[in-house]
Every structure is written in structure tokens, then in C-alpha cells.
Amino acid sequence: MTEAPATPPPTQKCPHCGALLDPGDAFCEACGQPVGDPAAAAVPAALDTEKNPLDDVSPISAVTVGPGGRTAETAPAERAPCLECGGVVGEDGYCTQCGTKAPSPRDHFEEKPADWVAGVCDRGIRHARNEDAMALLADGERAVLVVCDGVSNSDDSDIASLAAAKAALEVLRPPLPKGLGVPESVAAAVGKLFTDAAAAANQAVLDTAPDDVRNPPSCTFVAAIADGSVVHYAGIGDSRVYLLPDAGNGRMLTIDDSMAQVLIAGGTPRAEAEASKQAHSITKWLGRDSPDITPRVGKVDVTGPGWLLACSDGLWNYASEPAALAAQIAAAGSTDPHAIATHLVAFANAAGGQDNITATLARVGGAAQPVEGLVTGASAPSSTNGATDVGKNAAPTTGETDG
């Protein structure tokens, strides 16, 4: 995990001195010069300003919720109060009472497209900006969870991850094909859908930077589709999908493309491999210099009620085993996915918040029981992940470091 932030995006530089700006800044903190609208003044000509993902930092879902659970529809133009004193935050992003700078909307955002689907994406404590992104969809009995984690040692990975998540969701938005006959036909159709989603996400990453950029942006990609009693999933990198039933064994569905996974495949215990110095060096990713953007895909049948969780390594770094995550879900003391996601992010921040944190959840297999009836699950053997993996293993190539 790389702690140093990537080079700030060109849309956030002072035109006078080149210092980093936040969206909405009226004056440069470094030189004091007025900057007007830096996003409008400094966008490179090579970029399509209508498609710049930072022009629309709000989540994709029609319903969004803030830290207090307030929906965006309730007060779409209202600026959140100062986190330090509760005062009014001015147009320049600073509190008019205590002078504290308000966080960027990109630093923390939440989605709740349905009462059974929600997610929280947070900057964490140690990183200078939030390079994670998520995109959620709920449609009848179907939910789509997409998580992309920007690679810290690449430029503008916060822009790339958001663009990738949005692009993948658009490909995954239509219902899965039905009535294809044999299971092999269904698997092939779903596999192609995930491959198309990864390709669209990869193209979105490429579109965020010119061809000659020295350190092109990149990110991980993971997606899960809950469709009735079946969960389909796909991944590139080391963001993960878990199936955590209310009772019985929890399962880590995806397999990481990382040096930690290489060690695990060679017989190193998971805890030891994930604690190694190169654990978060990924062997596959989305981006211009990626060796392979074909996702590893799989499916699993839902046999009982529980939670589908897609998350970044900022969460699972503190609770890798399914049993540990199931225990945190139970500790949330709620059956509301937004409350659970909020608790999971708070848990990771309390444990150190070394990385950006994203937790997205969908209820599967039936309505949640009262909190006192929840039973935490146990870990399934990591060699099989408890699911059918129909993708291919990736040999380690270069070592992008996921942040």
C-alpha cells in the first residue's frame, strides 16, 4: 500500500503558482491569488469537459444519503454544515465561523438506491484524497455493486476510478440474459457481459488522461450482480466480493490478483501473506499499461439469507476473513445496509484508516432478521473460496501498488 498521494489532477492546480486546489476554491491557499473557477480554466484541451468524472462527483443512484442519512432530494442545494463547529460553510469551502476547510464531496459519498442496497466510500485517515469509487444499482430483485480502487502511485487515479465505476455500471445496467437454455450458455453470456464491463471501465480510465502522460492512471475493478437466488461476480486487482450469510460459512468469492495471492497459492498462510511488504502489489489492473484486462468471473447460488459485500482493500485489510467481516456486520446493530456500510467504514478508520475505504452491500436471500437473531458466519477454505470460478489465473507481471 503506497501512502504518498499521486500528482494532483490538472483541473485542480492554481493558474498562478501551480499549487493544488480543491473544487470550488475561490483563492489559492499557497499564493493568495484569486483563481475563479479552476476546473473551467485549467481543463486540458485533450479532455472532453462534458465527460470529466469530477464534474459530477455525486453518486450515480437516484437516491443518495449524507452522513446524517438526509437524502439529496431533501435539500439538493444545501451545503453540509462545518464538521468542526456546525457553522455555515461558505462558497470558498471554508467555515464562516471557525475557518475550518470543509472536506471535498469526493472525499466521502454515500449511495442508497433501495432499502436493501447501499454503500459508503470514504477517504480514510492517512490518504490525502479519496481514490476509491463505487457505483450501485437496484432494480426489482436485482442489484449491481461496482467498486474501483485507484492505484496510488499512478497519476489522477481518483478521476480514473470514478470514471471506471460509472462506465462499468452502465454496461451492467440491463437485466441479465434469460432463457438461454443450458447453464454453459448462461455462463458464457454473463462472462461476456463482465468482460464488456471491464473493457468499458478500462476505456473510461484511458479517456481521463492523454496518451503521452508519463504515469498513466489505473485502478482495480470488482463487480457483483445479485439476481434472485444467484450471485455473479468478476474482479481485476484486489478489491473483493464476499457472500456473508446470516448463519453458516461466509465466503470470499473473488480471488485477488496480487503478490499476496501468489504467496497464498504457494502455500503461505493468508494472514502471513497479507502482512508481507509486497502484499498489495497487484498483478492485474485497469489502465494504459495493464498486461491483461480480462476479469476472473464466477457465480454462486444463494442458499439462505445474508449479505453480499463488495469492498476495497481499505476495509478488508483490517478484516480479511469472512468471519471477521460477518462479526462487524453483526456489531453494526442494524439490518439497514446503509447503517452497516457506515459502521464498516468507521471500523476501518478506527483500526487506522491507512487506505481509502469502500463498503457496498446488498441483501440477498430474504429480508434481514432482527439484530438479536443474527449469527456470524465462519470462514470457508480459502483454496476454493466456496464458489465456482470460471476465469483464468493471472501470472504475476509488474507490481502496481494498490492504494
CATH class assigned to 104-401: alpha beta
Give the pLDDT score at 301. 96
Q: Identify any residues that bridge with 136 across adjacent strands, giving them in sequence order.
A: 145
Burial of 270 (0-12, 13-18, 19+ CB in 10 A): middle
pLDDT of 272-289, one tens digit each?
888 888 887 899 999 998
Taking only the tens place, the pLDDT of each residue in 133-184 is 999 999 999 999 999 999 988 889 999 999 999 999 999 999 987 766 677 7
If phi > 0 it is left, if psi is from -120 to 50 it is alpha, else beta; for residue 307 that is beta
183-236: pLDDT as tens digits: 778 888 999 999 999 999 999 999 999 988 889 999 999 999 999 999 999 999
**What's 16's DSSP letter?**
T
Three-state DSSP state, 64: coil
Cell numbers placing 26: 475561490
Domain borders along the chain are 104-401
Per-residue cell: 135:
457505483
pLDDT bracket for residue 380 (50, 70, 90): very low
Q: How confident is the model at residue 292 (pLDDT cuts 50, 70, 90)?
A: very high
Report d(CA 403, CA 313) in Å as an integer: 8
- pLDDT digits 0-9 by tens, 26-70: 655 555 555 654 343 333 333 333 333 333 433 433 333 333 333
Task: Count CB neighbours of 63 within 10 A.
Answer: 16
Cα separation, 292 vs 283, in Å, equals 9
